[in-house]
Chain A
Amino acid sequence: MFQLRRSPEVHDVVVIGSGAGGGTVTKVLTDAGINVTLLEAGPMLHPMTDFKEHVWPYQVDHRGAGPHSEMYFGKNIYGFSYFGAPAGNWTLDGEPYTVAEGSQFKWWRARIMGGRTNHYGRISLRFSDYDFKPYSFDGLGTDWPVSYDEMSPYYDKAEGFIGVTGTKEGLRTAPDGNFLPPIEPRVPEVLIQKACKSLNIPCIPSRMAMLTKPLNGRAACHYCGQCGRGCHTASAFTSSQAMIFPAMKTGKLKVITGAMARELITGDDGTVTAVSYVDKATRTDQQIRCRAVVVAASACESARLLLNSRSSKFPAGIANNSGMVGRNLTDTTGYDLSGHVPALDGLPRHNSDGIGGMHVYVPWWLLDDKKKDFPRGYHIEVGGGFDMPQIGSFHGQDGYGAALKSRLRYDYGAWVGFSGRGEMIPNANSYCEIDSGTVDQWGIPVLRFHFRWTDHEINQVRHMHNTFTSIIEAMGGKPEPKQFPAHGVDAVSIGGEIIHEAGTVRMHDDPKQGPLNRWCQAHEVKNLFVADAAPFLGNPDKNVTLTIVALAWRTAEYLAEEMRKGNV
């Protein structure tokens, strides 16, 4: 039985979600002396016991395949990997979502303190000037009410706090930042750089949120390459370790875990007076009263909460008189190609772990090319080196015996991989809405997704295929046999698969065009803010997290100032 409990206490600010956005808001507000109550739908994170850093596969009896061989039979019980940091999964028991007929969409949901920052790739790229003004740039999409110049100081703060490697390059497509020293390229990456140079493609030191020097009390990286497993020394950025745990020591933060937000309660004056959430442990509904609320539950989960918060004043969901909540859903495009490079066969063995992920990358380089058949662009993530063998590392081989064994030894570390990550232009067929016929295990109506790629994205991904082939061939390598499919849409990742959802509660100076103003504050509800990728007006080829942190930082400073002035 549900039992409703209301707390008499009025909390200063309730933050919903503890990922990049919620973590940043929590840090900035508690630093400003404001009391924060943080709701996280998952459990508390305990890095020392939850992170499987440095565990060898043979130290686990199933070696990562799952106790009942789940991974061999397509039952993805671990999300990415048994060894990966706890961060959620593509499916959650008791928490369905639906996908409209004719659409495909995959929704990753984190349920853990720190959210997706516990596992993310940590690629940290500033958006460019034109990314904030896409409509002015080429007539597609919608301009942000914020410019690069307004964002730049917040990128400085974000980079200065989380720590980002990089070098000054002076490229418009990859604005320089406040960087830690870069890391040396691995052997395959040196060959990739040379191949790119021969093709007039820039390939520069990567910009990653790993510490090549100690920073803000966090130790420098020890180069084990396992950032995706979670880092005991917090040398790879997570909001949990770098933002929330320190905030918990200030005495200004109250954390409530296992708290699934159900609804924002509106008062007679149209402001949020309380947050209603399900305490999962007791299956009871709880309400906490607050002066202000910051929704940072991830783009689609934030839209869902707003749409489910209906009242006589907001029949279509709180702050949604524009009808724009849930619209303009985007993800990043993805396409991968690998190849064998004979120059690397028999490479003398050494430890090539480094930081987890690429040491060099290719920023977009054809901004001014008028001949290409798609707008905007993509960046290229590269891979190569001696990886720790895992379950599945050698699946799909041919042959057997001594010949197989010596071939695997000879070409170990002689493979390179390329992943294109490109910009999607928002379109009218890609959005999420409430599926009023389906509820989760707590009775909260779920989301239904609609998603379509257009020729913009398909042509872009075809360009990726041709580029990756050229780079591999320039290295004297042979791309894996992979024909670009007749229906190009089959080549693009499934919507949501790159886990960069954005745009579902967007900003706009015109309240009819976007629920949020330029401060990510709801036009219609002055004490309601959104601080994840939902406020974005576009989804450039520059992974969302750094901009989530920078924008959330700006939002939190504004909120703190408005509270000080008594406006909120």
Chain B
Amino acid sequence: MSENISRRNLLRGLSISALASGAGLGTLAAAQQAHDAVAEGKKAAGGEYVPKAFNAHEYKTLRHLSDLIIPADEHSPGALAAGAADWIDFMASNSTELREIFTGGMGWLDHDMQRRYGADFVDAKPDEQTAMLDLIGIEKNAAPENEAGIHFFRWARNLVLDGYYTSPIGIKELGYMGNTAVAEFHVPKEALEYALKRSPFA
């Protein structure tokens, strides 16, 4: 098995040897500083997120959409808990182009829901919401009259997936175990056997 070693220890050890050999990889202090900046990262400010790009109704709609795209399940929390809607709002607050895709898309969604069911998307019954997402979120149902909604949903899904799977919750959900320093690289036997057994080379 690979030995996990902390990046801090790794850099300390390596930088000393690098300095000793004159390879010029920067000072130990610089290595430590770079490491600490990464390790501390951005700590969450805490408290409730206040939307910057969307109004209260749009923000509520976006949160609900993100929950429908990646819900919580027995395996892990979903996009809502991972803050995907907050992240999209943050991104839209710095891009008029992105903001207009979302405000325009959600405007179309509400208008179409009003026409069909007499309610905005977020206030409609769950089966009405699902009926709409089946029309705009599943490629084989694509109809020309829903083109604007389909276009919007592609954006919404792409950004919810981005926001979710680049969050700590999403990374854990996938089970990505890298981005760390190890002394040796080895492939676990059980993983190799699992794949070989299921392959044409069994």
- Chain A interface residues toward B at CB < 8 A: 46-49, 54-65, 67-69, 72-73, 183-188, 190-191, 194-195, 198, 214, 216-219, 222-226, 232-234, 241-242, 245-246, 248-249, 341-355, 386-402, 404-406, 408-409, 412, 474-476
In whole Å, how far is B64's beta carbon from the nearest beta carbon of chain A?
12
Q: Bound complex: CA of A474 vs CA of B198, how far in Å?
A: 13
The 3 closest A-B pairs by CB, nearest first: A217-B21, A245-B24, A217-B23
Let me know if B97 is at the binding interface, CB within 8 A: yes
Let me know if B50 is at the binding interface, CB within 8 A: no
- Residues of chain A within 8 A (CB-CB) of B81 are none
Q: Are A187 and B187 in contact (CB under 8 A)?
A: yes
Q: Are A234 and B23 in contact (CB under 8 A)?
A: yes
Q: Are B139 and A398 in contact (CB under 8 A)?
A: yes
Residue of B with least CB distance to A349: B175
Q: Are A222 and B22 in contact (CB under 8 A)?
A: no
Say whether, besides A63-B166, A190-B195, A47 and B25 are in contact (CB < 8 Å). Answer: yes
Say whether, besides A348-B191, A353-B179, A408 and B69 are in contact (CB < 8 Å). Answer: no
Let me know if B133 is at the binding interface, CB within 8 A: yes
- Residues of chain A within 8 A (CB-CB) of B33 are 48
In whole Å, how far is B195's beta carbon from the nearest beta carbon of chain A?
5
- Chain B interface residues toward A at CB < 8 A: 2, 5, 7, 10-11, 14-15, 17-18, 21-26, 30-31, 33-34, 38, 41-42, 68-71, 73, 75, 78, 87, 90-92, 94-95, 97-98, 133, 137-139, 153, 157-159, 161-163, 165-168, 170-171, 173-188, 190-192, 194-196, 198-201
Say what secondary structure dominates the interface of chain A: loop
Q: Bound complex: CA of A386 vs CA of B187, how far in Å?
A: 12
In whole Å, how far is A41's beta carbon from the nearest beta carbon of chain B?
22
Q: Are B195 and A344 in contact (CB under 8 A)?
A: yes
Q: Are B178 and A56 in contact (CB under 8 A)?
A: no
- Residues of chain B within 8 A (CB-CB) of A217 are 17-18, 21-23
Partner of B192, one of A54, A62, A190, A349: A190
Residue of A394, A409, A412 with most chain B CB atoms under a 10 A cut-off: A394
Q: Bound complex: CA of A550 vs CA of B90, how far in Å?
A: 49
Q: Are B162 and A65 in contact (CB under 8 A)?
A: yes
Q: Bound complex: CA of A62 vs CA of B168, how far in Å?
A: 15
Q: Bound complex: CA of A354 vs CA of B63, how far in Å?
A: 37
Q: Are A348 and B97 in contact (CB under 8 A)?
A: no
Q: Are B162 and A54 in contact (CB under 8 A)?
A: no
Residue of B with least CB distance to A344: B195
Q: Are A349 and B181 in contact (CB under 8 A)?
A: no
Q: Bound complex: CA of A55 vs CA of B180, how far in Å?
A: 10
Q: Bound complex: CA of A389 vs CA of B162, how far in Å?
A: 8
Q: Are A393 and B18 in contact (CB under 8 A)?
A: no
In whole Å, how far is B80's beta carbon from the nearest beta carbon of chain A?
13
19 extra interchain contacts, Cβ-Cβ under 8 A, other than A63-B163, A183-B185, A408-B165? A47-B25, A47-B26, A48-B33, A54-B180, A60-B42, A72-B98, A191-B199, A217-B22, A222-B10, A223-B185, A232-B26, A249-B24, A347-B191, A349-B175, A351-B182, A389-B171, A400-B157, A405-B70, A409-B75
